[in-house]
Structure 1
Amino acid sequence: MSLEDSRREYQYGRLRRESLKESPFEQFNLWMEQAIHSDLSDPTAMCLATVNAEGKPWQRTVLLKGMDERGLMFYTNLGSRKAREMSGNPNVSLIFPWMRMDRQVIVGGQVERLTKTEVLSYFLKRPRGSQLAAWASQQSSRLSSRQALEAQFIQMKEKFAAGEIPVPDFWGGYRVVPGEFEFWQGGENRLHDRFQYLRAENGWAILRLAP
């Protein structure tokens, strides 16, 4: 089968204005809960797009680790490519591709750094192996080999063999403060349902978009 012939109908359901929550955070929480209960693989995985100083975009998948009315949170190495690009340009976008449910959620906004207290609270909840990996990996830097990475991990494991593992000073978190949400529900004959939430003076404006 050619790529041109690869297609399917979207028949999971419809999205109607009257069914939408007035807050995009409430709508997102509803869809996230449904995604989790539908046994999707990695429902919290989201594609994060950043732009560098030359205006070139780049994307990667990160995990959503928290959300409240202020925004959506994730954690990373502060020396990584994404962190460097967000330092120069805080405008980012996220997408949650829940295609098994014929759904996507897109979020556009600006990032802000999480506090040390928020970072510490999350870091202490990570599995010990993940804590060690945060120390072992100089994220986005070039590696001579896989063995070099594993050797660094073993070195960190020996270094912190006793007691708690401290938060690296080069590791932290971000909050995406949204200015826009889009909820997409696939429809038959490519007549998809798309609703955009735009931040307004007194809440959120909700608009239907053409598919």
Structure 2
Amino acid sequence: MRKLLTAALLSLPLLAHAAPINLVVNGDFEATAVANGTWRNVTTMAGWTRVGGPGTGFEIRNNVAGAAHTGSNYIELDTNGNTTIEQLFNSLVPSAAYTLSFAYSPRPGVGAASNGINVFWNGQQLAPTFTGNGGSQNNWNVFSFDVYAAAGANSLRFASVGGNDSLGGSLDTVSLTVPEPGALGLAAFAVFGVWAVRRRRA
């Protein structure tokens, strides 16, 4: 039992510093193969569903009009028109807190009127429209929000709301994670569990 307690204590730093698990499927948009220096407009994409138009697909870019925030790919939501994409989460703990994070960039060389993106959690808009004037390259900024799970399916949506001109803002590195204090709580629970077993067997 002493060995179990020692092992649990030694695991605390690992649990406390472990990278949080991203619950978003294909949050970096790397699941679709796109050659370097090109882009693709596809009708289906892993993890995501197109739920609003008039855009007719997902425009995935690889080093076109700017580089990705992470990896090679990123998505522009104004394909051949404004587009809304959604991902559903069916296994979240009701009332539990999660951290939603994503990277946004205005399209290089395009004005703020075309670069708008809105983000929604369970139908509620989380912030004013993300937009800006594009510079000479992608200028990624990361935004994070605390969101709370409802019972059943939870909806995450991103909507392009600029001009319907096929020139819109870009999105990358989308994640939904349990806040880090949850990892610390899990570690403490593990130690307590070992201690409780020891008490019962004493």
TM-score range, shorter chain: under 0.3
Structure richer in helix, relative to its length = 1
When normalised by structure 2's length, the TM-score is: 0.24
When normalised by structure 1's length, the TM-score is: 0.24
